[in-house]
Amino acid sequence: MRNLNNLELWFVTGSQHLYGPEALAQVAANSKEVAAELDHSTSIPAKVVFKTVGETPEAIRSICSEANNAESCIGLIIWCHTFSPAKMWIGGLSILNKPFLHLHTQFHRDLPWHTIDMDYMNLHQAAHGDREFGFMCTRMRLERKVVVGHWKDPEVHARIGAWTRAAKGWHALQGAKMCRIGDNMREVSVTEGDKVAAEARFGYTVNGYGVGDVVEFVNSQSDSDINSLCEKYVDEYNVVPSLLKGGDRHDSLREGARIELGLRAFLAEKGASGFTTTFEDLHGLRQLPGLSVQRLMSDGYGFGAEGDWKTAALVYLMKVMDGDLEGGTSFMEDYTYHLHPEGHKVLGSHMLEICPSIASAKPSLEIHPLGIGGKEDPVRLVFDVAAGPAINAVIVDLGNRFRLVVNDVDGVDPDEPLPKLPVARAVWKPQPDFKISAASWIYSGGSHHPVFSKALNGEVMEDFASISGIEFLHIDQDSTVSEVRKELRNNEVYYHANKGFSFAG
Ligand code: MN
């Protein structure tokens, strides 16, 4: 996986020569103070570095070009402290290929009612400087996030923070590698997609590997490494007695550890950030990878079952975006329903592969038969997921474009314990209610493989969709089926015609 430390947002201020050196020095000093405030904000998970006051078309083009080529730069925050004639920005914005956020703020929060004069007015005119800049962005049909408010306002920091997460995710996807191990579950449609289009749109690659490529790594693991990993399992989880040393299934635990070590070594050698498996293609593996997949996800790897590479990439992306937030993110599957008239609920789970980052308590490490795939019983972590707000997200390949669907959900505790269910599980009530949510999701083409996150919200996801230029559909507390259907129909036209909306006329 890529090193995502030391990423920077570049703070660029718009102005012009007209104001004279004294005013421009003040603009630069004020900009440095604003950038430092954002840099210190705990809501913004990247360094914010003041770069320059752009006063000429040449300077603006130059800083945009520099940003394009700076590996550490994940995006620009742009603010026009004074008026900045926006024809100066055409050249720079035309070549800029990093995401940008337009911060519409003002240095002084309050009007100095008793002392204000024309000098003050000339220095503090973001009110119209930013509108001039905004016109040019709109005229050029540029995707960006506009955040409005005083730069010390915590709400402003939160809006910038959400976008920073999306910019970080976008940065992480560029050049990221997804390994599709063993291709797709046969005849399944929704886990397929256009890998060329995905690389062109999102920047990650998907390449196929035979399961034998992984088996070579699995079979070359040493007994001592396997033993130490088994000891680690005992430290981290409640391991059932039969799997412990001396227990009658201990060999299965060792096999699980061997698979984990092999998969890790394989992914490290490929430089991969995510992977898929399929239970229909396990030649040479004695178990369907369960525990190993759970632990790799927990370490930040993307994963999709049954060859679902779009979801593997989305899990990786969302894990980068959730970063240091509380909550966790996991591959998930809408498994089965509780359709009681007093509260419809969804039970989400998978055969094995749910990430322990969303576990409510120390997971239990167990072994049970798997009625599919014809392999030995796989070891897996079993746990519940704590109640609380969450989202489900999915990427749909519509053939001519990608759509990101997000549904706000409320995680709830199971009505009763689930003693016979041998897998990790989450229970949730979708917003605005089960019927509207499921109908909207189905009309949108969303798969049964959502990514479930207790850490992220719709804003981060929408910001990512905007940065990557894909369609975004949010099913939230205000959604109705007829409005969602209308939006889907309108989007068909908009995204088809969008390529023709050239800014140059
Ligand atoms: Mn599945």
Query: In this predicted model, what pLDDT tens digit does every residue of 142-199 receive, in sequence order?
Result: 999 999 999 999 999 999 999 999 999 999 999 999 999 999 999 999 999 999 999 9
pLDDT(505) > 70: no
Distance 26 CA to ligand 1 centre (A): 58
pLDDT reported for residue 323: 94
DSSP string for 106-153: -SSSS--TTT--HHHHHH--HHHHHHHHHHHHHHTT---EEEES-TT-
Q: Which residues are within 8 A (CB) of 420 and not within 5 positions of it... i.e. 6 or more apart?
A: none
Centre of ligand 1 from the C-alpha of residue 51, in Å: 47
* pLDDT confidence band for 394 (50 / 70 / 90): very high
CA of 407 to the centre of ligand 1 (A): 19
What is the reported pLDDT for 372? 80
Task: Please give the pLDDT value at position 333.
Answer: 97
Please give the distance, rounded to the nearest whole angstrom, from the Cα atom of residue 24 to the centre of ligand 1: 59
Determine which helix (DSSP H) or strand (DSSP E) holds 163, and give its type and residue range.
helix 154-173
How far apart are the CA of 276 and the centre of ligand 1, in A?
A: 11
Q: In what order do the strands lie in the sheet with 47-54?
A: 47-54, 8-14, 73-80, 100-104, 145-148
Query: What separation in Å is there between the alpha carbon of 306 and the centre of ligand 1?
Result: 6
Q: How far is the CA of 489 from the centre of ligand 1 (A)?
A: 28
Checking if the pLDDT of 499 tops 80, the result is no
Cβ-contact 317, 169 below 8 angstroms: yes
- Mean pLDDT, rounded, for 219-227: 98
Q: Where are the alpha helices (DSSP H) in 41-123?
A: 57-69, 90-95, 118-123
HSE, side-chain direction, 13 A CA sphere, residue 63: 26
Per-residue pLDDT tens for 451-475?
Answer: 999 999 999 999 999 999 999 999 9
CA of 180 to the centre of ligand 1 (A): 15
Dist. CA 333 → ligand 1 center (Å): 6
Q: How far is the CA of 182 from the centre of ligand 1 (A)?
A: 15
Between the CA of 313 and the centroid of ligand 1 the distance, in Å, is 15
Rg (CA), the chain: 25
CA of 334 to the centre of ligand 1 (A): 9
Residue 390's beta-bridge partner residues? Answer: 409
CA of 305 to the centre of ligand 1 (A): 6
Phi/psi at 435 (5° precision): -65, -45
The full 3-state SS of 424-483, as one line of letters, equals: CEEEEEECCCHHHHHHHHHHHCCCCCCEEECCCCHHHHHHHHHHHCCEEEEECCCCCHHH
Q: Report the separation in Å between the CA atom of 42 and the middle of ligand 1, taken as the mean of its atom positions.
A: 37
**Is the pLDDT reported for residue 232 higher than 60?**
yes
For 417-442, the pLDDT digits (tens) are: 999 999 999 999 999 999 999 999 99
- C-alpha 152 – ligand 1 centre gap (Å): 45
Question: Could you list which residues have their CB under 5 Å from ion ligand 1?
Answer: 305, 333
- H or E stretch at 494: helix 481-497
CA–CA distance, 10 with 60 (Å, rounded to integer): 13
Report CA(335)–ligand 1 centroid distance (Å).
9
Q: Decide if 278 contacts 307 (C-beta within 8 A).
A: yes
Q: Is the pTM of this model over 0.85?
A: yes
Which whole number is the average pLDDT over 195-214? 97
Query: Measured in angstroms, how far is the CA atom of residue 311 from the centroid of ligand 1?
Result: 11
Task: Give 352 Cα–ligand 1 centroid separation in angstroms.
Answer: 10
Give the angle 458-460-464 at the CA atoms, nearest 5°: 110
Distance 99 CA to ligand 1 centre (A): 33
Alpha-carbon gap, residue 89 to 14, rounded angstroms: 9
How many angstroms does the Cα of residue 353 sit away from the middle of ligand 1? 9
189 CA distance to ligand 1 centroid (A)?
A: 12
Average pLDDT over all residues of the chain: 96
pLDDT in tens, 92-112: 999 999 999 999 999 999 999
Spacing, Cα 425 to ligand 1 middle (Å):
14
pLDDT at residue 1, rounded to an integer: 72
Q: 403 and 444 in contact (C-beta within 8 Å)? A: yes
As a whole number of angstroms, the distance between CA 27 and CA 14 comes to 9
CA atoms within 13 A on the CB side of 384: 16
